[in-house]
Amino acid sequence: MEFKASSSRLVVLASTSPRRRELLASLHIPFEVIPSDADESTPSHWTPEQIVMELALRKAKAVVASLPGASINAVIVGSDTIVVRDGQVLGKPKDQAEAASMLRSLQGRSHSVYTAVACIDGITGRSEVDYRLTLVTMRALTEQEIAAYARTGEGLDKAGAYAIQGLGSIFVTGIEGCYFNVVGMPLSLLSEMLGHFGVEILK
């Protein structure tokens, strides 16, 4: 089935993530991708909510600053995802050994996944940012499974060292909350926020 673009406003995704690009494409609205080179360092005392919302907004702001001209008829979207276990933030593993260590700490229990979405109006500069939280439960894993999955490299560019939409799905026994939030972009939140900027997914 073909969908007609619901708005003349362009959406600009401030991300190089192929997962976010695929999720945004599923909404059938016109969009472009512009990588963001925002600084992703944060103070150690920040809460998970502060981290994801600030980084999502930073990414969007960095792309806005890189755009030519004073304004553009577009909504710039930034997003950030982190995994939290026992209050500890788990980012992307630096190598297979760290990926295996992260999986070892997540297996047989539940952890939280936070993803924030930030939208900035390219004309007015108005911004909005919010986040969603999903609880993910993993089954117990053997050392052989952990090592084998780490070797695939699938989780090396993902917070928490696993991909719920890939081979990592075989470890997940349940989720509470938005599945797409774990993949990297809560589509229900995104669509609601885009509506606030004049981009309606369905009308």
107's CB contacts (< 8 A; 6+ apart) are 138, 139, 140, 141, 146, 171
Contact 132, 154 (CB under 8 A): no
Whether 80 is catalytic: yes
**Rounded distance, CA 57 to CA 156, Å?**
24
Q: Which of 81, 76, 63 is nearest to 119 (CA)?
A: 76
48's CB contacts (< 8 A; 6+ apart) are 82, 84, 89, 112, 114
**Rounded distance, CA 180 to CA 182, Å?**
5
Q: Name the one residue in this structure whose structure tokens are 């999955």.
A: 149
Q: Which of 42, 41, 48, 6 is nearest to 27 (CA)?
A: 6
Q: Which residues of 45-81 are buried (b: 16+ CB within 10 A; e: fewer)?
A: eeebeebbbbbbbbbbbbbbeeeeeeebebbbbbbbb
Q: Annotated catalytic residue: which of 39, 80, 95, 157? A: 80
Query: Which residues are the active-site residues?
Result: 80
